């Protein structure tokens, strides 16, 4: 994408470039949707297809947009042309962000936050090196905020301060990588068991750590099928088990029954000293404690670790997460680092020191009561969306403990990209987050039903049957409605 040229009226003396009457939005055009990538545009791939039907090619840079970095001219310091150019680019980009945020429904990010009070800290390079509980030689850190956040989650998941260890990760994937790594260090010959609908980072961990991995079938809901789990446990009972339990699957938002998983392990002859459970609570790990009838995630049960994303339900402008495990397990990973005058059991060395401050700020502002209200709002709005989809004759499913509404995949990929829907096969989903209002859902629904009337108006093309994905009772195709 080429940036807009600097208008002639903006060229002048440096002091006058950003005068009081300067309006950066005046040089901003409406940002178009990126072009659809087709299979003709990218060829020769064996890696699969992207959501637009185009081939996904690894090892090849395909730039759909690029803001080139150029060298400043010799006289830029005097003319201010470069500053004006960059101001126009940033103003245009901000307008793009505002527009794309208005049509954001498919990914689990809470975009409703205001951290203006923390702007005063952006001038500092805050880096939490090494173990959050051990001081290092680097003094510009936010460990005191990080430990406060960790203690808050430790109380949520019912483990004493003296019995847990944890740190703030750079994303949810790092939490899974660390949790599974701890399990592998506790049981070096253990087998990783994960449902087929687990996040891809779980299988990435298996490849990175060269672990044997057994995939477990799922129920229609997306929840782990414990009958299949038991069969595969019994077939591998000579080795310890490392299990990934999903507190909200990626596509369907299904919550694995932790109690049933533990019961299945015990019935299969696995004592508590022969299995390690990591709970991937990326999104719903923070929602479940406030949902009645939800399986309780707690360290009072024989689990080894829990991870949650900070930029999802909490809402944070940068990716981050929290990973907590038992103190007894972490000594197998921790190493002295003389360079830091500290110890380190984390995966990443340098860690974003701003993220703990953002989470600390939000946790203090909202507290348990605030999060409970937001969870109730999300579940209520998710039911509203599901009911309206079904009333419109559109196949839809909503798991009882979830705010992820699964429905038939729209035929128009431009519509998919406009609303930033996540798709898999014949299904798509909307993740109802605290920033998703009834008004926003109505806009989406009205546009979907209008578009859908044109997609299927001639009767030659029928809506897809997605009974295999959502069950016969939730499918509104010609065969099942």
Q: For residue 426, which of 392, 382, 474 has the smallest C-alpha distance?
A: 474
Residue carrying structure tokens 């905020």? 145
Query: How far lies 38's CA from each of 240, 277, 308, in Å?
Result: 46, 42, 36
- How far are the Cα atoms of 16, 184, 462 from residue 274, in angstroms, in the given order? 71, 12, 51
Q: Which of 275, 284, 282, 280 is nearest to 302 (CA)?
A: 275
Separation of alpha carbons 210 and 183, rounded Å: 13
Cα(481)–Cα(473) distance, rounded to whole angstroms?
Answer: 8
- Choosing from 309, 395, 402, 403, which is the catalytic residue? 402
Give the pair of three-digit tokens for residue 346. Answer: 């984390």
- What number of other Cβ atoms are within 10 A of residue 28's Cβ? 18
| 409: three-class secondary structure by DSSP | coil
Look-up: residue for tokens 């806009």?
Answer: 443
Name the phi and psi angles at 41, rounded to 5: -80, -35
Site of tokens 């310091």: 77
Asked if 280 contacts 430 with a C-beta cutoff of 8 angstroms, the reply is: no
Residues facing residue 396 across a β-bridge: 407
Q: Which two tokens stand for residue 92?
A: 């245009």
Question: Distance (Å, rounded) from C-alpha 94 to C-alpha 103?
Answer: 15
402 in active site: yes
- Give the C-alpha separation, 14 to 6, whole Å: 14
Which residues are designated catalytic? 402
């Amino acid at each position: 994408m080429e940036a807009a040229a600097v208008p002639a009226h903006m060229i002048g003396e440096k002091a006058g470039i950003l005068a009081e009457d300067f309006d950066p939005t005046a040089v901003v055009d409406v940002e178009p949707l990126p072009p659809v990538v087709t299979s003709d545009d990218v060829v020769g791939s064996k890696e699969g297809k992207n959501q637009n039907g185009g081939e996904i090619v690894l090892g090849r840079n395909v730039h759909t947009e690029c803001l080139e970095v150029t060298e400043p001219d010799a006289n830029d310091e005097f003319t201010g042309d470069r500053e004006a150019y960059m101001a126009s680019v940033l103003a245009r980009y901000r307008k793009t962000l505002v527009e794309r945020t208005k049509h954001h429904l498919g990914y689990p990010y809470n975009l409703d936050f205001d951290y203006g009070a923390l702007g005063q800290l952006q001038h500092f390079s805050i880096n939490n090196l090494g173990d959050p509980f051990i001081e290092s030689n680097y003094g510009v850190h936010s460990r005191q905020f990080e430990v406060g956040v960790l203690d808050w989650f430790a109380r949520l998941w019912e483990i004493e301060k003296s019995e847990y260890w944890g740190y703030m990760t750079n994303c949810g994937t790092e939490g899974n990588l660390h949790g599974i790594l701890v399990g592998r260090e506790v049981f070096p010959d253990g087998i990783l068991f994960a449902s087929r609908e687990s996040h891809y980072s779980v299988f990435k961990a298996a490849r990175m750590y060269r672990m044997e991995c057994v995939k477990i079938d799922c129920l229609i809901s997306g929840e782990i099928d414990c009958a299949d789990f038991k069969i595969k446990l019994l077939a591998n009972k000579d080795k310890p088990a490392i299990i990934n339990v999903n507190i909200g699957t990626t596509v369907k938002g299904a919550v694995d029954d932790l109690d049933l998983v533990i019961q299945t392990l015990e019935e299969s002859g696995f004592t508590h000293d022969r299995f390690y459970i990591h709970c991937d609570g990326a999104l719903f790990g923070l929602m479940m404690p406030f949902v009645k009838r939800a399986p309780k995630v707690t360290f009072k049960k024989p689990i080894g670790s829990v991870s949650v994303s900070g930029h999802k339900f909490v809402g944070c402008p940068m990716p981050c997460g929290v990973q907590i495990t038992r103190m007894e397990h972490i000594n197998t990973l921790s190493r002295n680092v003389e360079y830091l005058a500290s110890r380190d059991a984390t995966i990443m060395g340098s860690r974003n020191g701003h993220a703990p401050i953002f989470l600390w700020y939000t946790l203090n502002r909202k507290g348990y009561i605030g999060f409970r209200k937001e969870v109730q709002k999300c579940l209520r709005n998710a039911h509203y969306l599901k009911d309206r989809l079904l009333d419109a004759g559109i196949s839809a499913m909503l798991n009882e403990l979830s705010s992820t509404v699964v429905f038939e995949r729209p035929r128009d990929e431009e519509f998919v990209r406009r609303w930033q829907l996540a798709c898999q096969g014949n299904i798509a989903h909307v993740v109802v987050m605290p920033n998703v209002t009834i008004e926003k859902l109505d806009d989406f629904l009205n546009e979907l039903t209008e578009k859908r009337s044109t997609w299927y108006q001639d009767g030659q093309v029928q809506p897809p049957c997605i009974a295999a994905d959502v069950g016969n009772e939730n499918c509104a195709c010609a065969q099942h409605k």
